[in-house]
Amino acid sequence: MKITIIGAGISGLLSAYYLVKRGYEVEIFEESNRAGGLIKTMGSPYGPMDYAASSLVNSADFEALFDDIKLEMAQIGKLAKVKNIYRGSMKRWPLNIVETIRFVAGVIKLKRSKDKGLNKGRTIDDWGKQYLGKSGHRYLLETFLQGVYAGDGKKMSASLILSPIFNRKKAKKIKPKVKGSIMPSFGMEQLTERLAKYLQKNDVKIHYSSKVNANDIDLSRPTIIATSAPAAGTLLKGMGIEAGEKLVKHDMLDLASVHLVFNEDKPLFKGFGCLFPVSEGFNCLGILAGKNGFPKEYSQPVERWIIGGAHNRNILLQNDEDIIDLALSDRKRIAGIEEKPIASIVLRRSQSLPHYTPELEEIIDNIKLPPNLHLIGNYLGGIGLSAILKESQKLAVNIEDKKRRSIE
């Protein structure tokens, strides 16, 4: 049985990988002339600079994948596990004792609660304040979710984001050898490039510069749409599937990564990253200090400042100089002094992340797909690569189950 995949981003490539592992014949159609989709790395004399994902949360599955496709993991530094949150200054734990007691009490209450208060339509803001207290919500939950989803806590859906976490089956997990964030030695594009090569070696034909339209889709064989939400919406709409129109129109967020390179090896802060709570009034959502996390991959301190998302809608309308100034003004606030970078590079990704709102949840809940049509992508319950990997494994299992049932 031959399976068609539309899109050679990480979702399409991982889906193809797990299907090939199960012995399926796979063919991929990709609109652009390269694999990777949002994921792209700009090499530089200072180290890799990424347009989208730059690191991923490691798991035994990623370790097995890296081994299998012969991809080297960058060696992690001593500070890789240290993440900070800004509250007046950089802090590893941003709550005071009273707030911490309130937070812990909330977590205990949550553990005992069956439904976890995750009614549909409820926002992160409403849920977080009830369970974690105002400060626990503001400085931990909202800040963390803003760092991952770039959304607005007052508009993000609590059940869409948190249900997968609470409902995770407590199966015995194999622990990875390396805990925490990892990256391929030369940046994230190395993962997608290596995956594409591995697939081609295993007889997967990747047709580049081949945009698929709705009327090209042949549902006599299993087809996986592995694109962004609006692109999937366009295909579904063209196939007469109701949810398509809503997906096309769904709110998407723009992001830019400002890479600032400094001469001196005097880190701005101790740790791999720092997130900025909305209430602290920074321009950026957070910062990653590449050399602190992966010292061998960077010859100079390269800071990646992420800016945009739901609270900064017009960011991509600004020119590079203005975006760099916004990051530098945040930096001055932290460092206390103004320092001139030796290089500054802005990498843009427009309409890159779906806003995880109750509207998105409603669309997903009500998508009715014909047999043989499957969806995967960062709008279906997880934005990060670890969520996408799990979904692509599940998808391969589902396709196999369907095939078995049709034979029986």
Ligand X SMILES: Cc1cc2nc3c(=O)[nH]c(=O)nc-3n(C[C@H](O)[C@H](O)[C@H](O)COP(=O)(O)OP(=O)(O)OC[C@H]3O[C@@H](n4cnc5c(N)ncnc54)[C@H](O)[C@@H]3O)c2cc1C
Report the SS3 class of residue 157: strand
**Site size for ligand X (CB under 6 A):** 36
Q: Which is nearer to ligand X, 95 or 389 (CB)?
A: 389
Write the CB contacts of 383 (distance below 8 Å, at least 6 apart in sequence).
148, 149, 353, 354, 356
Does 377 help bind ligand X (rule: CB under 6 A)? Answer: yes
**Residue 198 CB, nearest distance to ligand X (Å)?**
16
Q: Binders of ligand X among 23-42, rule CB under 6 A?
A: 29-32, 37-39
Q: Which is nearer to ligand X, 132 or 353 (CB)?
A: 353
Give me the amino acid identity at 390.
K
CA atoms within 13 A of residue 83's CA, in its CB half-sphere: 12
221, containing H or E segment = none
**Residue 392 CB, nearest distance to ligand X (Å)?**
10
Q: How far apart are CA 307 and CA 254, in angstroms?
A: 9
**Residue 23 CB, nearest distance to ligand X (Å)?**
23
Q: Binders of ligand X among 183-212, rule CB under 6 A?
A: 211-212
With contacts defined by CB under 6 A, name the span among 47-55, 82-90, 265-273, 356-364 that binds ligand X: 47-55
Does 384 help bind ligand X (rule: CB under 6 A)? Answer: yes
Q: Binders of ligand X among 333-352, rule CB under 6 A?
A: 349, 352
Q: Which is nearer to ligand X, 135 or 352 (CB)?
A: 352
Write the CB contacts of 68 (distance below 8 Å, at least 6 apart in sequence).
198
**Residue 70 CB, nearest distance to ligand X (Å)?**
21
Q: How far apart are CA 394 and CA 4, in angstroms?
A: 17
Does 15 help bind ligand X (rule: CB under 6 A)? Answer: no
Q: Which is nearer to ligand X, 190 or 257 (CB)?
A: 257
For residues 225 and 375, is the Cβ–Cβ distance under 8 A?
Answer: yes
Does 357 help bind ligand X (rule: CB under 6 A)? Answer: no
Q: Which residue has the tokens 């979904």?
A: 391
**Residues in the chain, how many?**
408
Q: Which is nearer to ligand X, 128 or 233 (CB)?
A: 233
Q: Which is nearer to ligand X, 90 or 212 (CB)?
A: 212
250: tokens are 């769904």
Residues 3, 4, 5, 6: which binds ligand X (CB under 6 A)?
Answer: 6
**56-57 and 181-182: which strand pairing?**
antiparallel
Nearest partner of 272 among 103, 147, 87, 96, judged by Cα: 147
- Give the footprint of ligand X on this chain (CB under 6 A): 6-12, 29-32, 37-39, 52-56, 211-212, 226-228, 231, 255, 257, 349, 352-353, 377-378, 383-385, 388
